[in-house]
A and B are shown apart, each in its own frame.
Chain A
Amino acid sequence: MFKKVLIANRGEIACRIIRTCQRLGVATVAVYSEADAEAPHVQMATEAYLIGKPRVNESYLQLERILEVAARTGAEAIHPGYGLLSENPMFAKRCKEAGIVFIGPDENVIARMGSKIESRKAMADAGIPVVPGIARPLTDVNEAVHVAKEIGFPVMVKASAGGGGIGMQMVENEQQLRKAYESNQRRASDFFGDGAMYIEKYIENPRHIEIQILADHSGNTIYLWERDCSVQRRHQKVIEEAPSPFLDEETRKEMGEVAVKAAKSLKYTNAGTVEFIVDEHKNYYFLEMNTRLQVEHPVTEEITGLDLVEEQLTIAAGKDLKISQDEVKRCGHAIEARIYAEDPTTFFPSPGTITTFRPSEQPFVRNECAVSEGSVVTPYYDPMIAKVIVSAPDRSQAIERMLKALEDYEVEGIKTNLPMLKKVISHDAFQDGAVTTKFVAHYLQNKPIK
């Protein structure tokens, strides 16, 4: 195992990684921006180094500066967390060149899965179901119209390099498609420096279900069941749970095996997630693969009893997986809710100073926090300030525990989505396990949920 690991991240995930390192006796190096000088991850790490100004491109995205800190402190490996540099193939490559282990897959795999078009092609070639559409960048809007007519409206216009909903739009007819193509292409060029566009058939009333996998360097690959992440706002997840209330055992097993097949086709190593869109008839289609630890990994940890950060460290250190597929447990039910610094109705960001912060201290509640009382939530970073995770023997008890935990939670000084989370958890549709990715938008507009 490594003696010292640098964490190239901030917030709750940096704290989460440090905790596992502490348990394993691994020293940690934190990096931080001027805005994060007092942040919890800085306090928790064995050593901490200032790497720049508040903006991410002047600090947390400064890969050479981070590598310099790693070299200076003698860190043998870098854990990138999620977001920031975690899916940057150049960073993985530069780590390798510097003789530092990047805790994640090979840079070529990251690059392939980072492109929506490339990943879709790779998966189709491996025999994984993909949403009907086109497997190469469109040449122009006229070709987009031609393809859309072939596969039938509605379609999703998507930027190959897009993410978090940026550069994607559902359109129902040719006129909307022409407008959406141009505007999303422009936006993708501005945001990602890549205006490549493609289109896919729009799946009505879909669920977002993803499979967590682990793969070592000896080719052992296992799946750790699924997470249902259908409750989303602005194409970003809000509540995740495991197991999914929608899947039957047969589909669950099939999707797990398909995810393993996908990972093996890529010679994937480390933790990863194969995301699927699932229609109302339980047809599932590959959406994308996240080549990193995910925000919602705790729900998988709660039902399997595994520590995914420990698994990542073990794999990156060159050791084989300790468990086989038959030994992966699935025990009880877990739900995670993300607490965002935002207006619960408009979802607009709400930066400011947190004057009161009291996470729930109920039994069976796990808190993953990035803030404490007095923390300043700045506009520079993601709005997620904490996660609350509950576990229980079954789904109905998990729902009860989550409601109680959210009712206990106190955050003052900024607006948060806590009121919205409570409404979602207590909504009949959620309790019946009958929500799709449209749920939040429909419920906020008081439209019937189909």
Chain B
Amino acid sequence: MSQVITNMAGNLWKLLVKEGDEVEVGQEVAILESMKMEIPVEVEIAGTVKEVKKAEGDFVDEGDVLIELE
């Protein structure tokens, strides 16, 4: 199992995947909004989304787990 971790504090503006989705390396899975800028979150390994840990509109801190993959 692998985790998608945010590398920046901000607001989770958009989730682009849901549980059960297959994701590829480099795919954008979410967009954070920090300091009025859109920050895309990409996955580093391919897999299936097992659990989405945050909801759109949530505030996330640097290091928070966003998604669990398997």
Contact = CB atoms under 8 A, between A and B. Distances in A.
Contact of A349 (B14, B37, B59): B37
A303 B34 CA distance: 35
A382 interface: yes
A166 interface: yes
Contact of B39 (A55, A349, A378): A349
Interface in A358-389: 378-383
A348 B11 contact: no
Contacts of A166: 38
Interface string B4-34: 0000111100100000000000000000001
Contact of A381 (B9, B36, B59): B36
Interface in B33-64: 34-39, 59
Interface size range of chain A in the complex = 10 to 19
A379 B38 contact: no
Contact of B11 (A55, A342, A351): A55
B39 A382 contact: no
B35 A349 contact: yes
Contacts of A381: 35-36
A33 to B, nearest CB: 13
A381 B37 CA distance: 10
A378 B34 CA distance: 9
A164 interface: yes
A379 B14 contact: no
Interface string A377-403: 011111100000000000000000000
Contacts of A190: 14
Interface in A175-232: 190
Nearest to B14: A190
Interface of A is mostly: loop
A351 B8 CA distance: 8
Contacts of B36: 164, 381-383
A378 B9 CA distance: 9
A29 B44 CA distance: 49
Contacts of B14: 190
A348 B39 contact: yes
A351 B34 contact: yes
A341 interface: yes
Interface string A227-256: 000000010000000000000000000000
B35 A341 contact: yes
Contacts of A342: 35
Contacts of A378: 9
A55 B34 CA distance: 11
A221 to B, nearest CB: 32
Nearest to A56: B36
Contacts of A380: 35
B11 A383 contact: no
B34, B38, B39, most chain A CB atoms within 10 A: B34
B58 to A, nearest CB: 12
B35 A351 contact: yes
Nearest to B9: A379
B52 to A, nearest CB: 18
A349 B9 CA distance: 9
B12 to A, nearest CB: 12
Nearest to B36: A382
A298 B12 CA distance: 35
B9, B10, B34, B37, most chain A CB atoms within 10 A: B37
A349 B11 contact: no
A347 B35 CA distance: 11
Contacts of B9: 351, 378-379
Nearest to A382: B36
A169 B8 CA distance: 26
Contacts of B8: 348-349, 351, 379
A351 to B, nearest CB: 6
A55, A234, A347, A351, most chain B CB atoms within 10 A: A351
A234 B36 CA distance: 12
B35, B36, B39, most chain A CB atoms within 10 A: B35
18 contacts: A190-B14, A234-B37, A341-B35, A349-B10, A349-B35, A351-B8, A351-B9, A378-B9, A379-B8, A379-B9, A379-B10, A379-B11, A379-B35, A381-B35, A381-B36, A382-B35, A383-B35, A383-B37
Given A347-B37, A351-B35, 5 more contacts: A342-B35, A349-B39, A379-B8, A379-B10, A382-B35
Q: Which 8 A-B pairs have the closest CB atoms?
A: A349-B35, A383-B35, A379-B34, A379-B9, A379-B10, A349-B34, A382-B36, A379-B35
Interface of B: 8-11, 14, 34-39, 59
